[in-house]
Amino acid sequence: MPAGVMIPARNMPSMITGNGSVSGYGTSSGLTLGQQPNNMMEGQLHPLEMTQNASESEIARMRDEEFDSTNKSGSENHELGGSGDDQDPRPNKKKRYHRHTQHQIQEMEAFFKECPHPDDKQRKELGRELGLEPLQVKFWFQNKRTQMKTQHERHENTQLRTENEKLRADNMRYREALSTASCPNCGGPTAVGQMSFDEHHLRLENSRLREEIDRISAIAAKYVGKPVVNFPLLSSPAPPRPFDFGSQPVTEEMYGVGDLLRSISAPSEADKPMIIELAVAAMEELVRMAQMGEPLWMTSLDGTTCMLNEEEYIRTFPSGIGPKPTGFKCEASKETTVVIMNHINLVEILMDVNQWSTLFSGIVSKASTLDVLSTGVAGNYNGALQVMTAEFQVLSPLVPTRESYYVRYCKQHAEGTWAVVDVSLDTIRPSPTVRCRRRPSGCLIQEMPNGYSKVTWVEHVEVDDGGVHNLYKQLVSSGHAFGARRWVSTLDRQCERLASLMASHIPTGDVGVITNQDGRKSMLKLAERMVISFCGGVSASTAHTWTTLSGTGADDVRVMTRKSVDDPGRPPGIVLSAATSFWLPVSPKRVFDFLRDEHSRSEWDILSNGGAVQEMAHIANGRDPGNCVSLLRVNSANSSQSNMLILQESCTDPTASFVIYAPVDIVAMNVVLNGGDPDYVALLPSGFAILPDGMTVTDVGMADSGGSSGSLLTVAFQILVDSVPTAKLSLGSVATVNNLIACTVERIKASLSCDNA
């Protein structure tokens, strides 16, 4: 260990008094610690000051003494205390040294690991404990820091020397390889040694482009009817590209498999050429439909949507995927909007089934990729082909879901312009259970300044809607339930939510705004999982294993049950779900504002027991103040009952609104708000889905508070009726849940009827 060597200046009185204090600081002969004079840096040793009459040999002798003391690892120091011998100005008198004890060295070593730069107070305390003067402690630490720096530099020099030798050896090996290089095309010698860097780079780029041309030519050749022996496009499935914005993965295990989709497997090798040909034709049709106006597209009577002229469509696209099946109805619409998302990121989300399903969780109840025919070229999704299955929903038990088996194709048409198209594969593999066919549908994405994108969405399906309840027939037939406006509005709202998640500068003016970045991400991720769970259990989907119970006493209330086992996101036991849909003579916006307002919650929330509800924290998710995630506290009127926290997300767009909430544990939410993992917070979400009834023009604009349109409200509850998964479900539990939802519906009707009056 380095030792602080104190060398008194010649012919000068001592600077250290009898009690160890320093005097004469700042004079020309201050006490200094010996080290190399050229190392004057903060935290290092002070240079040794020599008097004018010191000889060169004397200076060299003192440096040798200092070097010897440093090599003894801090075990020696000059004796402090100021004896007469120590201050003897005679240069030839041998100086006495003080060797630190092993205990002193060990204690200072341990302290150095914790604090290499002790202050005056720490040095005095350490010196008092070890029987040393503060200056002795100070000089020991200075020498120790110098020694550590020297060792670090020596280690770095060794590493750099080793790396240099390795690079030198690699250079020699490459030179030998280049000297014997031959042309891969002709087999003759090549003059790589004389080739410029630019020329070599161009040759590599040319080889890569040649591979791309071969792949694209395979599709083009098949499309024009020329035989192609094999398809370079057909490659093994690739994992989804990462684009984490805190989304909950949507997998088959989570969503289950429907009757139609259970019978569908990955396409055979014989089907793949036909699938590629169909995808190329669908891409051409989608781009033309997105860019064309009248007479192909006609403005609806309310002036809000573009409706397809079916006769003009048949004349313009005579081939297609065949005639419309008997009994099927055509639903086609087009919408354009500008969203706050980069066009490349948007393409990546659309081509990743997990992210796509999460983004459109209110429309997509389940989705999976059966096969990947191409992962694209040039390191992106240009040319990517995926065979997929999906189930589309309206959040009501009165509207059957739509299952579809299709291919998704992505293509870059120009710099900053992409298109993603879906087209059904029913013509390749017919099924008697098909009730929905997707003609070329998808979106055209164009890059805009400042990270925005212009999206033109085309939705074109043929469907058997015979199972739709009369309450929802007008909404479904108008195209507002599954049409392009629904997709575009959801996309715009979700892009705003993602922008809120990534925001780094949060205004702190409002009370309750969560500014902790990690806490915001965790809370938004938890709310996203709550919304996905709610959306997956409300519709008449085949995606979950719920069982309809008989004897509920009300045909308009659907009650189902399932067992929750080994699911960290749900409490274990028997979960009972109840859902119903009904019409209200109130505009959707008024219903949404009433249900999301914490001040009016006691008017309908039976479980709050009439207690006052207070918003503790919230995160804004977009321009509309209704788009936010809130943490509510219910102050129960019963003092013996502990306060309850409620996590709530409310969201609205021109086609639908939702208020979804779940009771949460106080301890778990404290962990989430501090940035902890939200995946293990148990949730049983309940809530409301609010849709326009589709009867009048003003219904469509959810933001129109003055409209006299009606609303379609779906109420859904999930309640844990028994914490033992193997327990028997009692009819009393079913009756209790059924009574709960019936009372909630009556309270909502009564409150809104009074407001409407």
**Residue 584: exposure state from Cβ atoms within 10 A (0-12, 13-18, ≥19):** buried
Each residue's pLDDT tens digit, 537-592: 787 766 554 455 444 444 577 777 777 777 777 788 888 888 888 999 999 999 99
Closest C-alpha among 534, 537, 533 to residue 559: 537
Q: What is the set of domains in the chain, with CATH numbers? A: 104-154 (1.10.10.60), 268-502 (3.30.530.20), 517-696+707-755 (3.30.530.20)
Q: Is the pLDDT of residue 610 over 90?
A: no
**Considering the chain, what percentage of its residues have pLDDT values greater than 90?**
24
pLDDT of residue 113: 86
Give the per-residue pLDDT at 387: 93
Is the pLDDT reported for residue 620 higher than 90? no
Strand partners of residue 306: 299, 334
Q: What is the pLDDT of residue 499?
A: 86
User: What number is the average pLDDT over the span 193-198?
Assistant: 57
The per-residue pLDDT for range 476-485, each reduced to its tens digit, is 888 788 989 9
- Pick the more confident residue, 242 or 258: 258
Handedness of CA 341, 344, 350, 356 (dihedral sign): negative
Q: For the chain, give the mean pLDDT.
A: 75
**Residue 746 clears pLDDT 60, i.e. is over it:** yes
* Range with the poorest average pLDDT among 122-136, 234-248, 456-470: 234-248
Q: Give the highest mean pLDDT range of 260-264, 291-295, 568-572.
A: 291-295
Structure tokens at 266: 């990955």
Token pair of 167 as six digits: 């690079």
Is residue 486 predicted with pLDDT exceeding 80? yes
pLDDT band (50, 70, 90) for residue 504: low
The pLDDT value recorded for residue 175 is: 82
* Among the ranges given (1-5, 215-219, 314-318), the one the predictor scored with the smallest mean pLDDT: 1-5
597-609 burial code (b ≥16 CB/10 A, e <16)? ebeebbbbbeebe
**Distant-in-sequence, close-in-space partners of 318: CB < 8 Å, separation ≥ 6:** none
Higher pLDDT, residue 131 or 261: 131
Residues 253, 744: Cα–Cα separation, whole Å = 33
- pLDDT of the residue at 690: 94
* Distance (Å) of CA 138 to CA 29, 112, 150: 19, 11, 19
In whole angstroms, give the CA distance from residue 87 to residue 82.
7
What pLDDT, on a 0 to 100 scale, did the predictor assign at position 440? 93
> Amino acid letter at 618?
H
> Around 692, how many Cα atoms within 13 Å sit in the side-chain half-sphere?
31
Least confident of 47-56, 361-370, 644-653: 47-56
Residues 119-127, mean pLDDT to the nearest whole number: 89
